[in-house]
Every structure is written in structure tokens, then in C-alpha cells.
Amino acid sequence: MSQSNKAVTLASRPVGPVTEDNFKIEQVPYPQISDPKTEVIVRLLQCSVDPYMRGRMSEKKSYIPPFELNKPIQGYAIVQVVECDDEQNVKYKKGELISGILPFQEYTLINVNHAPLAGLYTPHKTLVNGELPLSYGLSALGMPGITAWIGLNHLCEPKKGENVLVTAAGGAVGSMVGQLAKIQGCYVVGVAGSDEKVNHIVQELKFDAGFNYKTTSYAQGIEKHLPNGVDVYFDNVGGDALDQALIHMNKFGRIALCGAISQYNDTTVALGPRLTWLMIGKAIKMQGFIVGFYPELWPVAADAMAGYLLSGELKIDETVYNGIENVPKAFIGLMAGENKGKMIVKVSEKN
């Protein structure tokens, strides 16, 4: 078959900020099923660009292997089975929806015995039955939403009336963390990179307060909006923000380390003040985490998030690009903070 199969490949590894030159849009072979019992072909419907992908563009060893040069990049995606021998296949049916980390190419062969990284799974039932928009499978009911829920509720256990600080509060994870903390009855302050985002999280997402770290220092912003200190800090950025949060933490404070976007483009070893002694006297817990390490909590978190979405307690922001060729633009925009909430690329419509 000579059917078109466009892919986003890694043309070169970025040094510092990612540019369009680091990617290439090119044709890859259309896949062929050789064993109808175990193989199906899926079509890419929607894909997600996320900050953690910056790590995979480098050669640096990490918790998941780097992307390979001149091969399609990968990320969370929702795909639909388009070629499948429904009578012979041991697992899938034609038309079925699948989620997971998959290559960013229009058509992909999936072997039921060789699930890629982090496994493949059926999207939440509210997405399959159409109660909620399919794209929520990449936000509230996908990795970012589960990340927000596990990092906040499982690791930090916020109690009613506690003070919660969240950075990258206009982003996919941060915007949900703040709303989940409000649901827990906390006082929530969000930090974002523009006045527009700050207005949005306060006015639309009902955070108690927020500040723009580009015009207000972390120290000043925290002192102004959280004069009684921070009980829970959900860290998406690392660096100065984490230093200042540590300085302003209360006794028995909890910090979830979710991301360090301020550090991802650094080509040198950044230096920061040695502040861990502050953690001793205030008995602060700091816990790094990867959402994939808690598979047993995914269904729990997804059911909770679906409930909040259906009741209207949780609002989802999305920034959408259309067409697979716009993946590089979407990713570069994400790293520059141009997104409001989840950055998604819609590639094709569900059949």
C-alpha cells in the first residue's frame, strides 16, 4: 500500500530552547498487519504535547529513554482501531478507542503483546460513551489530570483551610491542582507567567489569588498572598520558585515535585541556595513522583475527576492546534508558556 502516513520525527537534539528545526514532518511507511490475531492498525485522533517530552529530546539518561534521532517522537495520544480482523484478534475490535504513549504518526501498528511505554488502556467510560469530550482523555482523564490528583491528594493530603501554592497554574496540571485544592476547602494561590493567565485562574477557575512571576518576585508574591505561609506546594517549575516556597513553608509542610520547567532548557548546572536545612526544623516532606509509578491509583483518580467534570466543579482549559504538522509549533508554544491549560493537537476525527 502506498497510503500516506505523515509523522513528526526528531531531526536534531535541541541545545537550549527547542526550535522548529529540531523536528521534521515526513512520510513513514504505512504499516502492514502480518499476524491478525495480535496486530491492529490505529489512526491518530488527538495527541498531547507535554513539558516532560523536553527531557526525551535530550540524550540525558532519564526515567524513560530519549527519543531516537530521525524516528517519530512519542507522546500521549488517543487513537482509533481502523484495521482489525474482528473475528481473529484476541483483544481489539474495529472502531475501538485506545489511549497511551504512542508514536506521533497518522497510522501505527499495535501488537497486543508489545504495549509501548506505560501501557495502553481504554479511555475512561465517559469518553467512550460521549458524555465528556474525547480531548479530556488527554487532560483531566489522562496523564495531567491523574498527575494533579495523585500529587495533590495522595502525596500532599491537603486539609480544609490549609494554604496551597501551585506554580505553572495556568498549565494543564497546575490549573487542575488549584481546582482540586479548592474542592478540598483550601486557600489556593496560583503563579503564572502573564496577567491574562492570572486573571483567568482567579476569575474563571476560582483560585483565591494569583500573581505573575514575570512582574512580581516569588518572594514578594508569596509574602503578599500567603502571609501565614505555605502548607502545600505543588511544584511544576523548580529553581527560584522552589527556593522561595521552601523559605515560606509552614511546619509539617508538604511539597510535591512534579516538574522543573524552569530548568529543562539549562545547558549548565544551575546552582541554588542550599536550603534543605529549612526542611529539618519545619519537618517538611518533599516528594518527587511520576504518575506512571502509581498504576493502582489511575482508575481511582479518573473516576474522581470524571465526577468533578460532570458536576461542573472542575473546568478544563484547552489550547488546540489542528493537523499533525502543527505538533512542533504546539510544543514550542507550550515551552514558551503560550498555552492556556492543556495543549492538544487534533489530527483526525473519530469515525
Residues 320, 16: Cα–Cα separation, whole Å: 25
108-to-41, 78, 303 alpha-carbon distances in Å: 6, 12, 29
Question: Residues in the chain, how many?
Answer: 351
Which residues from 240-269 bind a copy of itself, rule CB under 8 A?
242, 251-252, 257-260, 263, 269
Query: Rule CB under 8 A: is residue 290 a binding residue for a copy of itself?
Result: yes
Could you say whether residue 228 binds a copy of itself (CB under 8 A)?
A: no
Q: Chain centroid to CA 52: how far? A: 8
List phi, psi (to 5°) of 250: -90, 165
The C-alpha cell of 284 is what? 517538611
Q: Segment 110-129, which members bind a copy of itself (CB under 8 A)?
A: none
Q: CA 270, CA 144: separation in Å to the nearest integer?
A: 27
Quick check: 321 and 345 in contact, CB under 8 A? Answer: yes
CB of 188 to a copy of itself, least distance (A): 22
284 binds a copy of itself (CB under 8 A): yes
Query: What residues pair up with 232 in beta bridges, in sequence order?
Result: 164, 254
Note whether 1 binds a copy of itself by CB under 8 A.
no
Site for a copy of itself contains 90 (CB under 8 A): no
Binding of residue 174 to a copy of itself (CB under 8 A): no
The set of cell numbers assigned to 246 is 521552601
Among 289, 297, 300, 348, binds a copy of itself (CB under 8 A): 289
Among 69, 219, 270, 336, indicate the residue that binds a copy of itself (CB under 8 A).
270
* Strand 318-322 relative to strand 342-346, pairing: parallel
Give the nearer residue to a copy of itself in terms of CB position, either 238 or 341.
238
Size of the site for a copy of itself (CB under 8 A): 35
CB 209 within 8 A of CB 225: yes
Task: Enumerate residues 29-58 that contact a copy of itself by CB under 8 A.
Answer: none
Do 345 and 322 touch, CB atoms closer than 8 A? Answer: yes
Q: Which residues contact 281 (CB under 8 A, 6 or more apart)?
A: none
Nearest to 139 by CA among 42, 52, 50, 44: 50
Closer residue to a copy of itself (CB): 93 or 251: 251
Is 295 near a copy of itself (CB under 8 A)?
Answer: no
Residue of the chain from 27, 88, 203, 287 that contacts a copy of itself (CB under 8 A) = 287
Q: Is 273 in the site for a copy of itself (CB under 8 A)?
A: yes
If one asks whether residue 63 binds a copy of itself (CB under 8 A), the answer comes out as yes
Q: Closest approach of Cβ 341 to a copy of itself, in Å? A: 21
**Quick one: which segment of 173-181, 283-291, 321-329, 339-347 binds a copy of itself (CB under 8 A)?**
283-291
Binding site for a copy of itself (CB under 8 A): 62-63, 235, 238-239, 242, 251-252, 257-260, 263, 269-274, 276-290, 293
